[in-house]
Structure 1
Amino acid sequence: MDFQVLVSTMNPDPRPFQDLGVPAVVISQNSSDTKETRGKVRFLSFNERGLSKSRNRAIEHADAEIALIADDDVTFCENFQEKISNGFKQYPEADILTFKILTPEGQPYKGYLTQTFKHNRSSIFKVSSVEMVVRPERLRKEGIRFDENFGLGATYPSGEEMIFLNDALNKGLSIYYVPEYIVCHPLESSGKILDENYFRSKGALIRRLYGDSIHLGLGFAFLIKQVLKPQRSISLFKAIKEILKGFNSIS
């Protein structure tokens, strides 16, 4: 099965990517627009900012049957390609598969189920970008892209994975979870600042996901969990106010 890694980075040193041993498209966001090929790796530089823009560039330029979405700070688990290939053999109808992340200490990155399943609108809330392996041609055909208003460097700094997968479900794409570790990433601090910007972004996310659809109740359940988090740095009233502000900012 034709395979590729899609890497998003900024001002990279090309040498580490040449050691991947697999074909890759490396998208760099810096001050120049350049193209270069070194062995199996294509380097494409664009003078722009935003993680979702970088992901979209990678999907646009991918030319393999399946592609793993990655960042420059992940490493790859042993036999990761074989695990991915076996996943698509198990679910040949799949357009997107999601897998698991391992920490450098050998621990699960998050709580994972041990059984395979087909994703629904609830399960996609827990997926990270670097867990995804996609069929780029299918995404391009259906016009599935990362929303460039969301993600690091955008107006709303998170939620792009959920929107991406929800849009895919809306288009009828098949998405499955396979309980295999494919990438390794350090465990990030859980000390997120739950401030005005955080809650405003969550309100915008739910409006973007569901609008006035029948699934809006699922979104409100998610928002209730957010405002009840004990690490909230603003009052409950202020959090709700910011959620509504974000919700109403999306047309």
Structure 2
Amino acid sequence: MNFDRLVISQNPFGTKRDEPDFRFLSFDEKGLSKSRNRALDLAEAEIVMIADDDLEYCEGFWAKIKKAFNDFPEADGITFKIITPEGAPYKPYPSKAFKHSRKSIFNVSSVEMVFRLDSLKKHGIRFDENFGLGAKFKSGEETIILNDALDKGLNLFFVPENIVIHPLESSGKVLDENFFYSKGALIKRMFHNSGFMILGFLFLMKQVLKSQNQLTLAASIKAIRKGFQAV
């Protein structure tokens, strides 16, 4: 099984490798979304997926991906499942395939996403470089690119097949001031003043009410409002 592998390094002193099925390129810049956009700009394959340095791939994952796109030929992008090294689901997943909605995209992780590259390029869909690690807002880039794809009329599906293995993060998300600041900015960026705004605030309220929230209700809302106003 042959794959084209493209690795983007954000190191001004990094080396360069350019081989038929493996490219390693370095750039003097910072930010996860910038790195992913570099990869999208330089990728040449029909189907692209995002990798990470702490992932393993399930046996037969590529066959699962190809079958999913054959089963849903209208799909511009498909999201799949992560399992832990012990074989357990990384998070709760539906048991049946479905077409993504504004609500369902909030539950997607970047390493679950697979796209037709031409669909992204045709509609100018990229990661928002204001969001993600190393950017002004530390999270939310996955949800934004999926939301932008829906805005452009792309067809996104979920298929309940395991494609990657990732250790379970037992500590979970840290629900602190920075988290709610970023999520407030996320909702503003995604929905602006559209009718979907209420959906965004319902999502935020679910986060505020979680037991691991480190802030009071008032402090959580203050951080969300600050992020909302920063976009």
Matched with 2:195 is 214
Which position in structure 1 is the counterpart of 2:212?
A: 231
2:30 maps to 1:49 = yes
Counterpart CA distance in 2 for 1:125 and 1:192 is 14
Q: TM-score, normalised by structure 2?
A: 0.96
Cα deviation 1:9-56 (Å, max 9, x = unaligned): xxxxxxxxxxx9522111111123653223511111111111111111
TM-score (norm 1): 0.88
Residue of structure 2 in register with 1:119 after alignment: 100
> Helix, strand or coil for the counterpart of 2:24?
strand
Matched, 1:65 2:46: yes
* Matched letter for residue 111 of structure 2: V
Structure 1 gap segments, 5+ residues each? 1-19
Q: 1:180 to 1:215 in 2, by over 3 A?
A: same
Q: Structure 1 residue 182 and structure 2 residue 163: aligned?
A: yes
Contact 1:24 1:41 in 2 (8 A): yes
- For 2:89, the aligned partner's letter is P
Runs of 4+ in 1 over 6 A off after TM superposition: none
Identity percentage over the alignment? 60
How many residues were matched structurally? 231
- Stretches of structure 2 lacking an aligned partner (at least 5 in a row): none
Cα distance in 2 for partners of 1:195, 1:68 equals 30
Cα distance change of structure 1 residues 196 and 51 upon mapping to structure 2, 3 Å threshold: same
Q: What is the aligned counterpart of 1:166 among 129, 147, 166?
A: 147
CA distance in structure 2 between the partners assigned to 1:124 and 1:192 by the alignment: 18
Cα distance in 2, alignment partners of residues 151 and 114 from structure 1: 29
2:12 aligned partner: 31
Name the residue aligned to 1:101: 82
Q: What letter corresponds to residue 128 of structure 2 in structure 1? A: D
Q: Give the secondary-structure state (helix, strand or coil) at the position aligned to 2:163.
A: strand
| Corresponding residue number in structure 2 for 1:136 | 117
Q: Deviations over 1:54-73 (max 9, x none)?
A: 11111111101111111121
How many Å apart are 1:104 and its aligned residue? 0.7
- 2: CA distance between counterparts of 1:189 and 1:29? 28
